[in-house]
Amino acid sequence: MEAPTIGSVILASLLLKLGSYGFLRFTIPMLPYASYYFNYVIYALCLSSIIYASFATIRQLDMKRIIAYSSIAHMNIAVLGLFTYSQAGIEGSIYLMVAHGLVSSALFFCIGILYDQSHTRLLQYYGGISMVMPVFSTVFFIFTLANIGFPGTSNFIGELLIFVGLGHRNSVILFVASTSLVLSAIYSL
């Protein structure tokens, strides 16, 4: 949170994806039996992290923290997609990683612009910002909708493919993971 805007963008767009890439590139191909054996442990960790990060995001007042915690929840959805062992889940996970890198970077840039103007990131001071900066507010809202996974945005396609892969794997895990859609709408709006 205390990193400058460029540091937050690098963390969100590149470094946060390294764990998922490591699973995709090394763990699953090199240790397929161990990955399959510990599959439900990974599901439990991802689902608990999605719910915990989403509730932690709801409690935040700092806009930079909101984006940072929501990134944790979205990357756990991507990890869930990798461990579906289905083509739809893995492709959705890769697509979500790329889309989330673009969307979260754009949101961090938007928050950096607001911080440069007013020197605060607290949410309570930005009521009525659309009256002062209408074009910026529209762009920020579009990226917020993409962060939610609204249909027609880039994150929606990745999450949809991941949920299709989870549906083929286990419907209970799909139901628990789909609560992230409701929680992401709550903390984003």
pTM, two decimals, is: 0.92
pLDDT in tens, 153-176: 999 999 999 999 999 988 999 999
The pLDDT, as a whole number, for residue 125 is 87
Residue 79 is classified by DSSP as H
How confident is the model over 30-81, as pLDDT tens digits?
999 999 999 999 999 999 999 999 999 999 999 999 999 999 999 999 999 9
75: its two tokens: 């990357």
The letter for the amino acid at 172 is: V
User: In sequence order, what are the beta bridge partners of 120?
Assistant: none
Question: What is the distance between the alpha carbons of residues 182 and 73, in angstroms, rounded to a whole number?
Answer: 12
CA distance 175 to 181: 10
72: nearest Cα among 88, 57, 84: 57
| Alpha carbon distance 74, 80 (integer Å) | 10
**Residue range 97-152, pLDDT digits in tens:** 999 999 999 999 999 999 998 888 888 888 888 899 999 999 999 999 999 999 99
CA-CA distance, 75 to 93, in Å (whole number)?
A: 9
